[in-house]
Amino acid sequence: MPEVVLKANDLVKHYPVKAGVLRRTVGQVKAVDGVSFELYKGETLGIVGESGCGKSTLGRLLMRLEEPTAGTVEFEGQDWTAASGRTMRKLRRDIQIVFQDPYTSLNPRMTVADIIGEPFEIHPDVVPKGGRRARVQELLELVGLNPEHINRYPHQFSGGQRQRIGIARGIALNPKVLICDEPVSALDVSVQAQVVNLMEKLQDELGLAYVFIAHDLSVVRHISDRVGVMYLGKLAEIGEEDEVYSRPTHPYTQALLSAVPVPDPTLRGKRDQIVLQGDVPSPANPPSGCRFHTRCWKAQDVCKTDEPQLELRADGTGEHPSACHFAEPRQVVETTDVSGLAPDTRFATPDVADVGDENPAGTGVTEDERRLDDTTTESDHLR
Amino acid sequence: MTDTTTKTKPSGHTYEPVDGRLLDVEDLHVEFHTEEGVARAINGVSFHLDQGESLAILGESGSGKSVTAQAIMGILDMPPAVIPQGSIRYCGQDLLTMPDEQRRHVRGPEISIIFQDALSSLNPVFPVGWQIAEMFRTHRGMNKSDALDQAVRLMERVQIPAARDRVKAYPHQFSGGMRQRIMIAMAIALDPAVLIADEPTTALDVTVQAQIMSLLQELQEERQMGLILITHDLGVVADVADRIAVMYAGRLVEKANVDELYASPAHPYTRGLLESIPRLDQKGQTLAAIGGLPPNLMRIPPGCAFNPRCRMARDVCRTDVPPLREVAPGRLSACHFAEEVLDA
């Protein structure tokens, strides 16, 4: 049995809805409403779902950027949600986060040295003061950036490079768990592949466990060992990557998978397409019983009254947890196993280093500034 | 009153396509003159669009795909934009030399556009029905109540539930998918011959994306519109387009039928792109990435703009701009070594 590093127990996060002059609480937005799972050492757990399903709130709860309304998060058996003071700070080191937007998640007034080095100010024992600059350069190299760019500012980097900086900051304290909230969705396809490959390499080298939150089902399939599908604050289905993608048993998972366009025109009109009616209901007033029943083609009376539990249900070959009264496997995506096939390196490469040293548009860095940059002494930057 | 919802081909239009040809874009150049210098957003782009056809223009950010759409629509801010060269002919008439007043009658009734961000494209202080009806009042001189009736019909056509009750609702009262349907209703209101969809589903969830794309396809078929789909998503293109034009740094690097392009790309960039996308229908895939970044449009490298990122670049690629040429029947590629890529 693999070692569990992070465990969510029935996590709940409700946000009050206030109205009127007295700002009375008139309702609750049930962003996360009872989510439990385990994250194993060194694995990637993908969390997918559409906007408003609570996947980002879940990430923030795991990171303790939000306090849960109920439920707990355990890190290596220790209750992380109850920890405070010194214990909490110590645990924080082991759980880090990478955000979606590489433009707003880096402070524009800080240099790369300051951004990546800042965690060491709070956790001074990780790297002694004298070694910090070298450690930052090491981290830059690890994420495929030029270590000589240590004194540059975020605006001097492209989106993909900034996301690498965000990742370097995330791994600076040698965490065991990295929560990645849509880490590649702001990037162009050709750059996205570089960052995904980098994340896989870092995982292998550092033994990190990822909680990879994203809406792109293809990226999640590619990077994840296990996948959880969220709908309106709850997990609809969770299992090994192949169980969820090849033998989904929850109608929502099936609809979601069938809606993803596949870059292969020969499949046009031949795929099993399930077009859902309507929109996702409001999490402030989720439907009774099964939350998906308002859009489900299989819904019966029991679905309106009884909430289906997330429990093992047969998927044709084996069984994996699914929260549907009428769970049955339906293959909506025909999967080809291409593992073992080497990629064609004549036009693209699985390498992870960032070879683009072109400044993005409008950075306005002159040669002089750059020269100055490189001759600045260490003491100017690390207090 | 004419029935606008059951019409099968554009009629009542000032312009008639010759042999089904709607648009002919030739050697289009667009520059942006800024304080830092001149950004060459489009550097000689040519393509055409026929009635009832779907053309996808595929590219990543900064490739010039949206600027192309804006140039066709005539909604570029000029200045800073300048069109130093090229022509855009609609049914034989050059839109770029047309007087503004005349062009206004093309924009909307003949060629219309939907954008990625429906929320910021709709006016937040007017009811959606009023905004759709505006098309009929302005361009057809209809009175208020007739125009509003038409708006309700259109909202029904784009499958907005309880359209009659919601015609007075404001944009913020609709979900993202419904707002995009309202945008589509406005765009097809005057039965245009050409519809440009600029990243129409990028901001939407995947289940909603599927709904919107199937609605667009249905409308296109019903009205025999020419559709220009501007996107970065190779999956969406594979699902809807007939032909595809791939843009890189303001140039077309490849043009082909969709089936042929996916089966055997003729440009190293297209080839690299196809290898860098994770696929839903594959497991155990090793992703290969195109290294580096697209060039800064103020400093496009000499020769082929893709040469710094191209793994098969040779000396000639650093000096000579490769022309877009026919490399196989019906296949155009702007690569000096396109035949090698095709055979690879």
pLDDT digits (tens, 9 = 90+) for B166-198: 889 999 888 888 888 899 989 898 889 999 999
Report pLDDT for A372.
35
Interchain pair A193, B278: CB under 8 A: yes
Per-residue model confidence as pLDDT tens digits over B211-234: 888 889 988 989 889 999 999 999
Of A334, A365, A331, nearest to A149 by C-alpha is: A365
Distance from CA of A182 to the nearest CA of B (A): 14
The mean pLDDT value for B28-51 works out to 92
Which pLDDT score is estimated for A382?
35
Inter-chain CB proximity A50 and B292 less than 8 Å: no
Round the average pLDDT of chain B to a whole number and report it: 88
Q: Are A188 and A289 members of one domain?
A: no
pLDDT: which is higher, B18 or A33: A33
Q: What is the ipTM of this complex?
A: 0.84
**Chain A neighbours among B 13-42 (CB < 8 Å)?**
36, 39
Chain A interface test: which of B32, B205, B274, B342 (most A C-beta within 10 Å): B205
CB A71 within 8 Å of CB A54: no
Per the CB < 8 Å rule, is A347 touching B275? yes
Q: What is the structure's pLDDT at B291? A: 80
State residue A379's pLDDT score: 35
By C-alpha distance, the chain B residue nearest A244 is B280
Nearest to A256 among B207, B233, B274 (CB): B207
Whether A51 and A71 share a structural domain: yes
Interface test with A, best of B281, B310, B311 (most A CBs within 10 A): B281
Q: Are residues A231 and A253 in the same domain?
A: no
Residue-level pLDDT at A353: 67
Are B206 and A256 inside 8 Å of each other by CB? Answer: yes
Residue A375 has pLDDT above 50, yes or no: no
Structure confidence at residue B248 (pLDDT): 94
**Binning pLDDT at 50, 70 and 90, where does residue A365 land?**
very low
Mean pLDDT within B258-283:
91
SS3 of residue A224 by DSSP: coil
Q: Is residue A349 part of a domain?
A: no
Radius of gyration of chain A (CA): 23
pLDDT above 80: residue B83: yes
pLDDT at B118: 76
Please judge whether B234 and A263 are an interchain contact, meaning their C-beta atoms are less than 8 angstroms apart: yes
Could you tell me if A311 and A211 lie in one domain? no
Residues A110 and A200 grouped into a single domain: yes
In a domain, A270, yes or no: yes
- Look at B288 and A193 and tell me if their CB atoms are within 8 Å: yes
Q: How far apart are CA B46 and CA A275, in angstroms?
A: 36
Task: Give the residue among B209, B203, B206 at the shortest CA–CA distance from B121.
Answer: B203
Q: Does B143 touch chain A (CB under 8 A)?
A: no
Predicted confidence at residue A1, as pLDDT, reads 67
Nearest-CA residue of chain B relative to A332? Answer: B281
Q: Which domain holds residue A286?
A: 247-322
Q: Quick one: A186 and A222 in the same domain? A: yes
A160 and A287 share a domain? no
pLDDT in tens, A257-272: 999 988 999 888 888 8
Give the residue on A whose Cα is nearest the Cα of B208: A279
> CB–CB of A348 and B235 under 8 A?
no
Q: What are A209's two structure tokens?
A: 């466990």
Q: Give residue-wise pLDDT tens across range B109-168.
A: 899 999 888 778 889 999 999 999 998 998 888 898 999 998 998 898 888 888 888 889
Q: Which of the pair, B304 or A81, is modelled with greater confidence?
A: B304
Q: What is the pLDDT of residue A355?
A: 56
Residue from A347, A357, A366 to probe the interface with B (highest B Cβ count within 10 Å): A347
Q: Which of A184, A211, A239 is the last residue of a domain?
A: A239
pLDDT at site A189: 85
Q: Which of A51, A223, A360 sits opposite B205 (nearest CB)?
A: A51
- Distance from the Cα of A124 to chain B's closest Cα (Å) equals 35
Q: Over the range A161-199, which residues count as b (16 or more CB within 10 Å of their CB) and which as e?
A: bbbbbbbbbbbbbebbbbbbbbbbebbbbbbbbbbbbbb
Q: Is A163 a domain residue?
A: yes
SS3 A321: strand
The count of CB pairs under 8 A between chains A and B is 216
Going by the DSSP 8-state scheme, the letter that residue A307 receives in this structure is: P
Residue A359 scores a pLDDT above 60 = no
Q: What is the mean pLDDT of residues A189-218?
A: 91
For residue range A37-88, what is the model confidence (pLDDT) as tens digits? 999 999 999 999 988 899 999 999 999 999 999 999 999 988 988 888 888 8
Residue A330 lies in a domain: no
- A315 in the same domain as A262: yes
Burial class (CB in 10 A: 0-12, 13-18, 19+), B192: buried
Set of chain A residues whose Cβ sits within 8 Å of the Cβ of B118: none
Same domain, A173 and A29: yes
Residues A254, A340: Cα–Cα separation, whole Å? 28
pLDDT at A354: 64
Spatial separation of the C-alpha atoms in residues A259 and A254, rounded to whole Å: 9
Asked whether the predicted pLDDT for residue B334 surpasses 50, the reply is yes
B36 with A364: Cβ contact below 8 A: yes
CATH of the domain at A55: 3.40.50.300
pLDDT of the residue at A346: 79
pLDDT above 70: residue B314? yes
Question: How many structural domains are present in chain A?
Answer: 2
pLDDT of residue B6: 41
- Read off the pLDDT band of A376 (50, 70, 90): very low
In the predicted structure, residue A378 carries a pLDDT above the cut 60: no
User: Out of A51, A188, A258, whose CB is closest to B61?
Assistant: A188
Interface of B with A in 103-142 (CB under 8 A): none
pLDDT 10s digits, B135-148: 899 888 889 899 99
Give the long-range contacts of residues B238-242, CB within 8 A, separation 24 or more: B238/A261, B238/A262, B238/A263, B238/A264, B238/A265, B238/A267, B238/A268, B238/B262, B239/A261, B239/A262, B239/A265, B239/A268, B239/B213, B240/B54, B240/B56, B240/B213, B240/B216, B241/B54, B241/B55, B241/B56, B242/B53, B242/B54, B242/B55
A229, A95: one domain: yes
Contacts of B213 in chain A (CB under 8 A): 261
Q: Is residue A352 part of a domain?
A: no
When pLDDT is averaged across residues A170-184 and rounded to a whole number, the result is: 92
0.90 cut: is pTM over it?
Answer: no
In a domain, A46, yes or no: yes
In a domain, A356, yes or no: no
A340 falls within a domain: no
Q: Which of A201, A222, A239 is the last residue of a domain?
A: A239
Instruction: Note whether A72 and A215 are same-domain residues.
Output: yes
Residue where a domain stops, chosen among A239, A258, A292: A239
Would the CB atoms of A218 and B287 count as touching at under 8 Å?
Answer: no
Q: pLDDT category, B61, cuts 50, 70, 90?
A: confident
Please state the rounded mean pLDDT for residues A355-383: 38
Task: Tell which wins on pLDDT, B177 or A120.
Answer: A120
Q: Which amino acid is residue A154, in one-letter code? A: P
Residues A344-371, mean pLDDT to the nearest whole number = 53
A58 shares its domain with A192: yes
